[in-house]
Structure 1
Amino acid sequence: MEKDLIKLSIEHGIAHVCLNRPSKINALSYDMFIAIDKVIKQLASDKRVNAVILSGAEGNFCSGLDVKSVASSPSKAIKLLFKWLPGNANLAQRVSIGWQRLPIPVIAVLEGCCYGGGTQIALGADIRIASAECKLSIMEAKWGLVPDMAGLVALRQIIPKDKALLLTYSADILTAQQALELGMITQISDKPHEAAVALAHKIMCTSPDANAAIKLSINRSWTGSIRSLLARESLSQIRLLMGKNRVIAAIRQTKTPDKSYVSRQSWW
């Protein structure tokens, strides 16, 4: 297995996750899928972490699937796609949808290439901040493939169906400005990593329990029924009202702005 494919550091409650295969423009090998999946599982169980910043090494986010690497081993391709039940997420899908399933805000920093599988991973983040020169593409059709890494879970919520079909059929490469106009990215910044850090600190001023509940409610209710939305909001609010962090949030607003939150509840 290749070493140090993912760099992880945790500073002041912020997890910095960096895709680290710069010699291949951070392309996704089988080992890299394993490494990303492992980091997501690690973050899910670490209640010290209240925000995640996801980036790529040396000025690129990810150039997509390393087709040669994966195709050279049929057994690895099978492991990548295998699942016990059709509705479960396989390894290829977990590296995208896994970020959505974390009870933590996830901010992706997009620079340079963000193609194919890289775009699928980026779509798993809650917020995407891109540099002006970043290029994005849903590129799988060029290889005779369908996008199968669960990026559609987010894509169907942020752009119209005809636009999604057009981008996927054509495999066109988008500029950051085009992606912003479509809604695929949240904002463009001259210093996207610094912008992400500033946003993470801003988010961490609010209760980690509230952030977890907000992410759960919005992700599950966005395309769900009104009845399930109403039930989820009410149940989440009751849990928040009973928690310590709700009291701390009120204290921070009225008495002690720097009072620390306690570890978040288990929401997922």
Structure 2
Amino acid sequence: MARKYIKLQIVNGVAQVVIDRPDKYNALNFAMFKELDDVISELRKELTVRVVILSGAGGNFSSGLDVKSVIQSPIQPVKLLFKWLPGNANLAQRVSFGWRNLPIPVIAVLEGCCFGGGMQIALGADIRIAAEDARLSIMEAKWGLVPDMAGLVSLRELVGKDQALLLTMTAKIMSARESLDKGLITEIDSEPMQRALALASEIANTSPDANAAIKMSINRSWGASVRSLLSRESISQVRLLLGGNRIIAAKRQSHKAKSEADARSGSKPEYKQRQAWW
């Protein structure tokens, strides 16, 4: 489908998703929520995708919700927040939580401003690589609102409760260095997109089934009981042992162990597409 604000390109198993409204610092209007949700759904079905890189156009990740645009139509806030059951994710929450639910590693490249709703989306990624001059803020309190896009699911895993309260209540704008010190981002790099591409290439060389199992096991077991964790580990391992990519991973490691001269004589076995059950 044609999208106006969210660009998706898949090359060699790496999906690049770009929030593309640079004239508004990639501020989020209603159409962008819909398009992000559609992209997440599409990527879930793309079994050949190994890694997702999420970024913003024009040197900024996102300045957050475009409040003026969203409230122009009374029905748009309703559509963003509506859910059939309180425990379900609504549209506003799916564009953050949806990245966590993808059985694919997601890397967010943070440049310029990453505020409010933009920060909530970034928190849904598995890895966050920030430019040296990036600025980050959980900004909802500034507008008299509570962060309500599911970013708190990740935030509680990244920082202590006191820091979560401090960051959300003050709406403080932090530098990349301060964000790294607090654990909100994974790395700082002078060329964050190049670093993300290199990391994506590294991850793409490992089994997509193993990566899916690792991501799901960690996300779903992080705060779960030990019994739940042990059960999920065992189920995942059985699935991996029965899948073809585990054998291919072993062959690739054997290939790597050969002498350099021998290695040049043959190519590494290619992974099959990701198993659909993750």
1:258 aligns with 2:258: no
Q: Could you say what secondary structure the match of 2:268 adopts? A: coil
Per the alignment, residue 8 of structure 2 pairs with: 8
Q: Deviations over 1:107-142 (max 9, x none)?
A: 000000000000000000000000010000000001
1:167-214 deviation per Cα after TM superposition (whole angstroms, max 9, x unaligned): 000000000000000000000000000000000010011100000000
Determine the C-alpha separation between the residues in 2 that align with 1:170 and 1:204.
39
Q: Deviations over 1:230-250 (max 9, x none)?
A: 000001001101110000000
Cα distance in 1 between the residues matched to 2:224 and 2:170: 30
List per-residue Cα deviations over 1:4-48 (Å, max 9, x = no partner).
201110000000000000111000000000010000000000101
Q: Please state whether the residue corresponding to 1:241 is helix, strand or coil.
A: helix
State the aligned residue count. 267
What are the equivalent positions in structure 2 for 1:209-248 lying under 5 Å apart? 209-248=209-248
Q: Which residue pairs with 2:168 in the alignment?
A: 168
Pairing 1:179–2:191 present: no
Equivalents in 2 of 1:164, 1:100: separation in Å? 19
Query: How far 1:266 moved relative to its partner?
Result: 2.0
Is contact 1:6–1:19 with CA below 8 Å preserved after alignment? yes
Q: TM-score, normalised by structure 2?
A: 0.94
Distance in 1, matches of 2:44 and 2:191, equals: 28
> Match of 1:103?
103
Show structure 1 runs of 4+ deviating over 3 A: none
Separation of aligned partners in 1, 2:145 and 2:36? 22
In structure 2, C-alpha distance between the alignment counterparts of 1:3 and 1:236, rounded to whole Å: 36
CA contact (8 A) 2:114 2:136 kept: yes
Q: Aligned-pair distance for 1:59?
A: 0.2
Whole-Å separation in 2 of the counterparts to 1:59 and 1:258: 37
- Residue 202 (structure 1) aligned with residue 219 (structure 2): no
Q: SS in structure 1 opposite 2:7? A: strand
Q: Contact conserved, 1:251 with 1:257, CA < 8 A, in 2?
A: no
Please tell me whether residue 22 in structure 1 is matched to residue 22 in structure 2. Answer: yes
Cα offset for 1:71?
Answer: 1.2
- Asked if the contact 2:3/2:35 (under 8 Å) is kept, the reply is no
Distance 1:145 1:207 in 2: 42
What is the aligned partner in structure 2 of residue 137 from structure 1?
A: 137
Residue type matched to 1:264 in 2?
R
Structure 2: tracts of 5 or more residues without a match: 256-265
Q: In the alignment, what sits opposite 1:147?
A: 147
Distance in 2 (alpha carbons) for counterparts of 1:164 and 1:102: 25
Report if aligned partners of 1:103, 1:267 keep a CA contact under 8 Å in 2.
no
State, as a whole percentage, how many aligned pairs show the same letter.
63
Offset at 1:3? Answer: 5.3
Letter in 2 for 1:198: A
**Partners of 1:127 and 1:185 within 8 A in 2:** yes
Shift, 1:257, TM fit: 6.3
SS at match of 2:86: coil
> Is the CA contact 1:212–1:267 (under 8 Å) kept in the aligned structure 2?
no
User: What is the TM-score with the length of structure 1 in the denominator?
Assistant: 0.98
Task: Tell me whether 1:267 sits opposite 2:277 in the alignment.
Answer: yes
2:112 matches 1:112: yes
C-alpha distance in 2 between matches for 1:44 and 1:3: 18
Runs (5+) with no aligned partner, structure 1: none
Which residue type is aligned with residue 27 of structure 1? A
